[in-house]
Structure 1
Amino acid sequence: MSQLNTSYWVFSVTPENWQIARQKKIWAVRSKNITQKVRKGDFIILYVNGTESFCTIIETLEDWYQATEVVWADEMEERIIKYPYQIKVRIVQEGLANVKELVQKLSFIKNKQKWGVYVQGTPANMGRPIPESDYQIIQNAMRLNPLPGDISSLLKRRPKIAKGTTIEEKELTVIPKHNEIRDMLLEIGKIEGKIAEVEYPIDNLRLDVVWKTIPTGNPKWAFEVQLAGNFYEALTKLKHAWDKWNSKPFLVTTEAYMVQARMLLEGSFHEMKDDARIVHWEKIVKLYQLLKDVNKIKSEIRL
């Protein structure tokens, strides 16, 4: 039986950060606004990217506190605290609750063909809690299908890549790391004669990259690199830049998540859908390489 005012949430998480959450019994978020939604005693269902499954349910045990050191995989990679608000948790249930097997039963997933849109984000479901009845369906599915003894075998599964309305298996292409693509965008901006900056502050958040036309001006272009996970938050930052500075918003992502990003632009972020650009990361790499080649040739012929 649920306690009074208990809420149930879905959060998407990378496999690496899922493992850290399980081992350290903590959860963390980037935005203070989320700490005002998710409270002590709430339950969080973790959807692990690449598995098509809800894998862990955690309960928040205490109030949120300030993080003092890097903990998460992407924080360690970038050597900065990206999720400053942490909370202690306990594991309530673990198992493999496959979304595609449950989708017809889950009331919070309105569009059954585009279920991926509803399980991505921190929180997912467009930042809204899910009904307790859906929580119970997911928890029961986890009970019936425990996690494999060798977790690494689960994490090595190939992600499914959306193509049109079907899902097919594809060989993985090596995707550059987040910071590598971010730095390419920085260099492209400089090559194009823009004032380019990384980790640009916007209120209590930071944009991955912005381009300006003059040093003291507002950003004319805003970029977020989102290779997996929290598209809702990335689009929230781009929407904020669009509202505040009329910046042109660019979301750089993978083929697997482009459909989900477009669905969000048709829904919660429809106001900026005509201005927003969703760009495959390969185009950024190609543009970067072409511009570098052009500059090299110019230098060689002293043009």
Structure 2
Amino acid sequence: MTFWLVPIQEDMWDDIQTKGIYGYKSNLSKYIKKNDDIIFYVSKYYASRYGGKIVGIGKVVSDWYYDETPLYPEEKVRNRAVFPHRVKVEIWVTGACDVKSLIGKISLVEDAVQLPKYLRNAPANLGRPILDSDAKVMEECLRQTAYD
């Protein structure tokens, strides 16, 4: 099992959960494959509730496909796809785990001063998969902060 960390906009999270689709601006198929797991991190930009938090983990259940149908709030406002490279996901755990609370517990963050560099772009962690041990710590944190 391979885990990937991806940053998302806060307003995308509801649609990812309800529609079961994650989208990105470019094709991530060389990294994220069917049966991999995606760890969703909400970036702080324009976030009011979940900024700086890991909010869920989902299993990739399809291959990547291209779809220009506006799906996410930003796309609906612009009336065009901003994240047309998409994959179907089944979310299997949710919560609101503050990334800063994981510093010292996970090896992902090698330099806490430079935390943002590990959380940007997709996949995050400088394009590397997340270690299984780090993913377990993140999952545990999500379960402890679960919400309905």
Same fold per superposition (TM over 0.5) = yes
Please state how far the C-alpha of 1:68 moved relative to its aligned partner. Answer: 4.0
Please state how far the C-alpha of 1:64 moved relative to its aligned partner. Answer: 1.3
User: Is the contact made by 1:53 and 1:98 (CA closer than 8 Å) also made in structure 2?
Assistant: yes
Give the structure with the larger helix fraction: 1
Which residue of 39, 43, 46 maps to 2:40? 46
Q: How far apart in 1 are the matches of 2:13 and 2:81?
A: 17
* Letter matched to residue 84 of structure 1: P
Please state how far the C-alpha of 1:11 moved relative to its aligned partner. Answer: 0.6
Check if 1:12 corresponds to 2:7. yes
Q: How far apart in 1 are the matches of 2:70 and 2:3?
A: 27
Please state how far the C-alpha of 1:109 moved relative to its aligned partner. Answer: 0.9
Q: Which range moves more in the overlay, 94-103 or 38-47?
A: 94-103
Please state how far the C-alpha of 1:85 moved relative to its aligned partner. Answer: 1.7
- Which runs of 5 or more structure 1 residues have no equivalent in the other structure? 1-5, 150-303
* Letter matched to residue 16 of structure 2: A
Secondary structure in 2 aligned to 1:93? strand
User: Is the contact made by 2:4 and 2:128 (CA closer than 8 Å) also made in structure 1?
Assistant: yes
> Which residue of structure 2 aligns with residue 98 of structure 1?
98
Check if 1:85 corresponds to 2:85. yes
Please state how far the C-alpha of 1:77 moved relative to its aligned partner. Answer: 2.1
Q: How far apart in 1 are the matches of 2:77 and 2:106?
A: 36
Secondary structure in 2 aligned to 1:95? strand
Q: How far apart in 2 are the matches of 1:67 and 1:45?
A: 22
Please state how far the C-alpha of 1:144 moved relative to its aligned partner. Answer: 1.2
> Which residue of structure 1 aligns with residue 48 of structure 2?
none
User: Is the contact made by 2:31 and 2:123 (CA closer than 8 Å) also made in structure 1?
Assistant: no
Residues 66-116 of structure 1: CA deviation (Å, up to 9, x unaligned): 214111122122222222221111011111221111111110111112212
> Which residue of structure 1 aligns with residue 17 of structure 2?
22
User: Is the contact made by 1:29 and 1:85 (CA closer than 8 Å) also made in structure 2?
Assistant: yes
Q: Kindly, what percent of the aligned residue pairs are identical?
A: 26
User: Is the contact made by 1:22 and 1:91 (CA closer than 8 Å) also made in structure 2?
Assistant: yes
Residues 260-291 of structure 1: CA deviation (Å, up to 9, x unaligned): xxxxxxxxxxxxxxxxxxxxxxxxxxxxxxxx
Q: Which has the higher contact order (CA 8 A, sep 6+)?
A: 2
Please state how far the C-alpha of 1:139 moved relative to its aligned partner. Answer: 0.1
User: Is the contact made by 1:11 and 1:123 (CA closer than 8 Å) also made in structure 2?
Assistant: yes
User: Is the contact made by 2:58 and 2:91 (CA closer than 8 Å) also made in structure 1?
Assistant: yes
User: Is the contact made by 2:68 and 2:80 (CA closer than 8 Å) also made in structure 1?
Assistant: no
Matches within 5 A, 1:95-174: 95-147=95-147, 149=148
User: Is the contact made by 1:35 and 1:85 (CA closer than 8 Å) also made in structure 2?
Assistant: no
Q: How far apart in 2 are the matches of 1:100 and 1:85?
A: 30
Please state how far the C-alpha of 1:134 moved relative to its aligned partner. Answer: 0.5
Secondary structure in 1 aligned to 2:91? strand
Residues 38-58 of structure 1: CA deviation (Å, up to 9, x unaligned): 000011111112322101111
User: Is the contact made by 1:42 and 1:60 (CA closer than 8 Å) also made in structure 2?
Assistant: yes
Q: How far apart in 1 are the matches of 2:104 and 2:142?
A: 17
- Which runs of 5 or more structure 2 residues have no equivalent in the other structure? 45-50
TM-score (norm 1): 0.45
* Letter matched to residue 11 of structure 2: E
TM-score (norm 2): 0.89
